[in-house]
Amino acid sequence: MRLSDTKALVWLPVGLLLAAIVVHAVRIEQYDADPQRGSAFAMFSTVDIAATRRVIATVPGDPTIRLEIPAHLEKVGLRLRDAPSEDVTRELAILLLESRWEVEGDTAKAGGTEAFDEVRVEVVGLESDGRVLSRQVFSDVVAFETAS
């Protein structure tokens, strides 16, 4: 190995670290990925992390019925909190629409006999502009039952 090759290898770790930072930043900015997932570069820089995001499923109407996301769909909910997307939100809304529910008051649990004509799924989180916290909507989808 020549001396000039050895000097170039010294800069390799720095180049790899910078490349990782750029990839992570692009995922945060372009795909709303959780800034704390996978690295600590953005730790403490934002209130928008997966732990503060919520997936809210409801049946619109009077009164609005809140759907408890069944355990077998919890992984989809976790994926939405980590990286919200319209496609995955729509997928979850359709799966909830196809389920049967047991309604008690303004809450419905999976496993009953009732079906709904429409289901709304929202992925929401927190946004901060210094001193004020507000609600940020990442995805909002309504799925309708189609006539067969």
Binned at pLDDT 50, 70 and 90, residue 26 comes out as: confident
Sketch the domain layout of the chain as residue ranges: 1-31, 50-144
What is the predicted pLDDT for the residue at 127? 81
Tokens 């020549």 found at: 2
Per-residue pLDDT reduced to its tens digit, 72-95: 999 999 999 888 899 999 999 999
Closest CA to 49 of 77, 82, 76, 24: 82
Please state the pTM of the whole predicted model. 0.67
Closest CA to 137 of 95, 71, 89: 89
